[in-house]
Structure 1
C-alpha cells in the first residue's frame, strides 16, 4: 500500500491538473514512476527545537536528560552511530550531565532553552470529536490522554460549545453533556505536569487521543495552550561552561 497526497496521486495517475476525474481506460503510469513523482515532505528545520522523550537510561560515565533544567548536550547518536546534529523526524539518543535520572521520565519534552522552550501547560483548549462512549460526557470527566509520548489523565474542565463536526459552525453554547458523534470545543486540565503545543504551531505535539474503558473515546486537536509562568529553572555546570565559551 502506498499512502500519499490525493492531488499527487491524481497527477501521477494521469490527471495532470490534479482535479480532473480519472476515467476507465485511461493509461496509468507504472507504480515506480508514480512513486518517483511524489514530492517529499518538507522538513521544518526553521521551527524551535522540541524533542520528546521516549525512554530514559542512566549510563555510567555518560549521564541523563533534564527536566526544567538548562544543560549542555554532550553527544547525539542514532542507531549507535554518532551524529553532529539531528533533524526533525530522527529517532535519536542524546546525553547530558549533572541531571538526576529520577527527574526524567517518559513523556517529558526537551527543547532549546533560548528559543520558545517547552513549558508546562496549566490547561488547553481543544476541538474534540467523540467517537465512542456508552453514556454522556460532562464537565469533570477525567480520562487518559495520549499526546505525543505522554500518557496522562486530563479533566474536561469546561464544555465551551458544541460545533458541527464537518463545518466547525457553533451549534450550542455551554452544552451540559456530549455523546458519541458530537464535536465540541472544550477546556482541559492535566492531572500531572504536561507539555503540549497548539496544532497550528507544532502539529505533532498538538493532537491527542482520549482513552477510557479500553477503547478510544475521542480524538482531538489543540487550539490554544495556557502555559504556566515558569522561572529559569536549574542551570547545570555543563550549561554554564558552554555559555561562557560562547
Structure 2
C-alpha cells in the first residue's frame, strides 16, 4: 500500500508504505494497481536497514527498477505479479452504513471515498437494497434513498480506477470511509 514515493539520489525510485498481507522481498516482480505497472523490487529497507523480507505490519521503503516517481502515486497497491495480483476496479458493490448525514442519499450522490491510502470521488451509481444492520438481510429492494442509520448494498463507481478487494479476502483493502462536507 503506497503512502508516498521518493526519488533518492544514487538509488532511484523508492515507494514507501505498509505491508498489509504476504511478504515483500528483493527480486519479487510486483505490479502496482490500478496503474498496472510491473517492475522488480531491488531492495527493501526499514529504518535505514536492509531487509531480506518484510512482513505484514512493516512500514518499509523499497527500491524499484525502471519506474519514475511520476508514474506512482499514494493509494497505489503493489502486489506479487504472479500470485493474485491487485487490480483497479472500474466499479464495485459494497455494504454501506450511513452514520452521520444531514439528508437523504440517492443514486448519483458523489462523495469522496477514503480506502487505505487512496482518496477518490466515488458515485453511488445504484442503491440496490436496504439491509438490516445486524443480520444483513434485505429489508427493501431498490430504495429511492437512504439516510442516517440505514445500511445498504450500493454499486459504487470511482471517478478513476481504484484498487479495492473483498473484505473477506483482504480486510485492509475492503474497508473504506465516505466523506462529504468534512463529515465522515
SS of residue matched to 2:59: coil
1:143 aligns with 2:92: no
1:210 aligns with 2:159: no
Measure the CA separation in 1 of the matches of 2:45 and 2:97.
39
Alpha-carbon distance, 1:61 to partner: 2.2
Would you say 1:164 and 2:132 are equivalent positions? yes
Aligned to 1:56: 5
In structure 1, what is the equivalent of residue 102 of structure 2?
A: 134
* Structure 2: unaligned runs, 5 residues or longer: 16-31
- Secondary structure, counterpart of 2:94 in structure 1: strand
Count of residues in correspondence between the two structures: 165
Which residue in 2 is equivalent to 1:72? 40
1:135-187: CA deviations, max 9, x gaps? 11000101011111111111101000001111111110000001111110000
Note if contact 2:89-2:164 (Cα within 8 Å) is conserved in structure 1: yes
1:120 aligns with 2:69: no
Separation in 2, partners of 1:173, 1:104:
40
> Whose Rg is larger?
1
TM-score (norm: length of structure 2): 0.87
CA distance in 2, matches of 1:61, 1:118: 29
User: Mapping of 1:1-246 within 5 angstroms?
Assistant: 52-64=1-13, 65=15, 67-216=35-184
Q: CA-atom RMSD, angstroms?
A: 1.1
1:4-29 Cα offsets, whole Å, 9 max, x none, are xxxxxxxxxxxxxxxxxxxxxxxxxx
How far apart, in 1, do the equivalents of 2:156 and 2:80 lie?
26
8 Å contact from structure 1 (residues 107, 151) kept in 2: yes
Question: What is the CA-CA distance between 1:192 and the residue it aligns to?
Answer: 1.6
Does the 8 Å contact 1:62/1:96 carry over to 2? no
**Is the 2:120–2:159 contact (alpha carbons within 8 Å) kept by the matching residues of 1?**
yes
Contact 1:77/1:93, CA 8 A, preserved across alignment? yes
- Structure 2 CA distance, aligned partners of 1:78 and 1:100? 21
| Structure with higher strand content | 2
Q: Is the 8 A contact 1:164 1:170 kept in 2?
A: yes
8 A Cα contact 1:75 1:96, kept in partner: yes
Residue 68 of structure 1 deviates from its aligned partner by 1.8
Alpha-carbon separation, structure 2, partners of 1:113 and 1:180: 41
Tell me the TM-score normalized by structure 1: 0.65
Question: Normalized per residue, which structure has more helix?
Answer: 1
Q: CA deviation at 1:90?
A: 0.7
> How far apart in 1 are the matches of 2:136 and 2:37?
40
Bigger drift between 61-70 and 80-89 goes to 61-70
Match in the other structure for 1:38: none
